[in-house]
Amino acid sequence: MKSGFLEKLVSRLDKVEPGEIQNIVTRLIQEKGFLEHVFEALHEGLIILDPEGKIMFLNRAACQFFGLDPANALGETISSKIRGLDNLSLTGSTQSVSRDIEVFYPEHRRLNFYLTPIDDPKNFELPLGHVMLIRDTTSTHAETQENIESERLNALTLLAAGVAHEIGNPLNSLDIHLQLIERKIRKLPPSYRQSLTENMQTARQEIQRLDTILKQFLHAVRPTTPRREPQNLNAILRQTLSLLEPEISSRNIEVNLDLSETLPSAVIDPDQFQQVFYNLLRNAYQAISGDEGLIEIKTRSTETDFLISISDNGIGIPPEQMGSLFEPYRTTKSAGTGLGLLIVRRIIREHGGEIEIHSNPNEGTSILIHLPHTAPSPRLLPAPVIDAD
């Protein structure tokens, strides 16, 4: 209907025939139904509020975003139905608002909503209500985080080249000269030799430590190509445990193995995955303090993925540190380099998999690895068709 038609109709309502009024009401119902169908077809969430912030209408997408039931939500204030909007004052507000919000129910999503008042043509100071448009920005946020991580790793890769040149070569030179000095020390009298030998050993150990840190740094940021071959994940886990068994036993930590006997072969790089398991198991037993330490290891296989979980009953990870676990040089250990988890995730992703970490303070940590059965292959464009004519 044309703008202003209803106002003219109301002013002349006493002169309109009953049959004409029925036709007009029918048209209004049809237009209302059409608009509701349009709103329901939107992928964006739409919520219409009255001046007091009570929900007058919400479409299907909004219900899915916030887990709302229209029957229970209509007529209720939006702050009582959506957590995080308690401080959103709508009464008499004439300003538009744009804000990001994170919801955890019914799904973990990142949303952006735009709230704008519905102007009253007769009173611009008091709006008729508000319209809220909600967009799901979860995938956009994930892409942004991946781009930031990629840029960070590219910067680290460039830095690594300089580090390898500026530090690696002097370390090799120092090691060679220490060997020459050691030869001369052997020719000294025993009274001088002992103290100098101890100093030389300390110097050699420090050079070795710097060389180890340098190699870890280069391995963390330098792209690598896995050497894939059929391997038994259970066997690699057991082999890694045997390497760590002396230290695990010295801490009186119990290890429970729940390994699937029907696990098929995985096409992986065995050395890289031994490094993955070594880092994760080492983190697990180092997080355990006191008696009754427990590490649980499980392997399973679905139709598409291998599932490997490593859980401990250690001190857990504080919530404020969960978001920076894979950042380089972020570590909770006094002697850690902060590169272990970065290396672990890079190896798993190079095999087409993903890693999940769940943890609560004083409740332990659980790590789940998803690894596809088949190695990811590049998607090739079809060969061009050449016309023989």
Report pLDDT for 380: 43
Rounded distance between C-alpha atoms, residue 94 and residue 127, angstroms: 7
The whole-number average pLDDT for the span 132-146 is 84
Residues whose CB is less than 8 angstroms from the CB of residue 226 and which lie 6 or more positions away in sequence, other chains included: 268, 269, 272, 347, 350, 351
Report pLDDT for 232: 94
- Do 203 and 73 sit in the same domain of this protein? no
Give the count of domains, the chain: 3
Q: Is residue 386 part of a domain?
A: no
Residue among 369, 231, 247, 352 nearest 297 (CA): 369
Q: DSSP letters along 32-87, please?
A: HHHHHHHHHH-SSEEEEE-TTSBEEEE-HHHHHHHT--HHHHTTSBHHHHSTT-TT
Six-digit token pair at 68?
């709302």
Residues in the chain: 389
Q: Is residue 379 part of a domain?
A: no
| Domain, as residue range, for 205 | 142-221
Identify the three-state secondary structure at position 339.
coil
Average confidence score pLDDT of the chain: 80
The whole-number average pLDDT for the span 301-310 is 93
- CATH, residue 358: 3.30.565.10
Six-digit token pair at 231?
């391997």
Q: Using the 3D structure, point to which of 188, 221, 254 is the last residue of a domain.
A: 221
Q: Is residue 389 part of a domain?
A: no
Q: Using the 3D structure, point to which of 89, 104, 138 is the last residue of a domain.
A: 138
Report pLDDT for 16: 63
Report pLDDT for 386: 47
pLDDT surpassing 90 at residue 226: no
* pTM (2 d.p.): 0.49
Residues whose CB is less than 8 angstroms from the CB of residue 225 and which lie 6 or more positions away in sequence, other chains included: 350
Residue 24's alpha-carbon distances to 37, 158, 187, in angstroms, are 20, 72, 114
CB 39 within 8 A of CB 57: yes
CA dihedral 325, 328, 331, 335 (to 10 degrees): 150
> Which of 160 and 248 is assigned the larger pLDDT?
248
Type of residue found at 383: A
Q: Is residue 279 part of a domain?
A: yes
- Which of 82-91, 181-190, 291-300 has the highest average model confidence (pLDDT)? 291-300
Q: What is the pLDDT of residues 92-129, one digit of tens each?
A: 566 788 888 888 888 888 899 888 888 776 666 677 88
pLDDT surpassing 60 at residue 378: no
Six-digit token pair at 277?
């398991």
- Do 121 and 147 sit in the same domain of this protein? no
Six-digit token pair at 75?
């007529």
- Do 239 and 264 sit in the same domain of this protein? yes
- Do 352 and 235 sit in the same domain of this protein? yes
CA dihedral 132, 135, 136, 141 (to 10 degrees): -120
- Do 350 and 241 sit in the same domain of this protein? yes
CB 174 within 8 A of CB 148: no
pLDDT over 70 percentage in the chain: 74
Per the listing, tokens 């609560």 go with: 360
pLDDT surpassing 90 at residue 141: no
Residue 23's alpha-carbon distances to 3, 11, 16, 27, 335, in angstroms, are 18, 18, 11, 6, 81
> Which of 321 and 359 is assigned the larger pLDDT?
359
CB 128 within 8 A of CB 120: yes
Rounded distance between C-alpha atoms, residue 188 and residue 339, angstroms: 43
Report pLDDT for 5: 54
pLDDT surpassing 60 at residue 345: yes
The whole-number average pLDDT for the span 319-327 is 74
- CATH, residue 165: 1.10.287
The whole-number average pLDDT for the span 222-241 is 86
pLDDT surpassing 50 at residue 388: no
Report pLDDT for 375: 58
Rounded distance between C-alpha atoms, residue 132 and residue 68, angstroms: 15
- Do 235 and 333 sit in the same domain of this protein? yes
Identify the three-state secondary structure at position 9.
helix
- CATH, residue 72: 3.30.450.20
Q: Using the 3D structure, point to which of 102, 117, 138 is the last residue of a domain.
A: 138
- Do 72 and 88 sit in the same domain of this protein? yes
CB 149 within 8 A of CB 167: no
- Do 186 and 291 sit in the same domain of this protein? no
Edge-first strand order for the sheet with 305-312 is: 253-259, 293-301, 305-312, 364-372, 354-360
Q: Is the peptide bond before 106 cis (omega within 30 degrees of 0)?
A: yes
Rounded distance between C-alpha atoms, residue 272 and residue 346, angstroms: 10
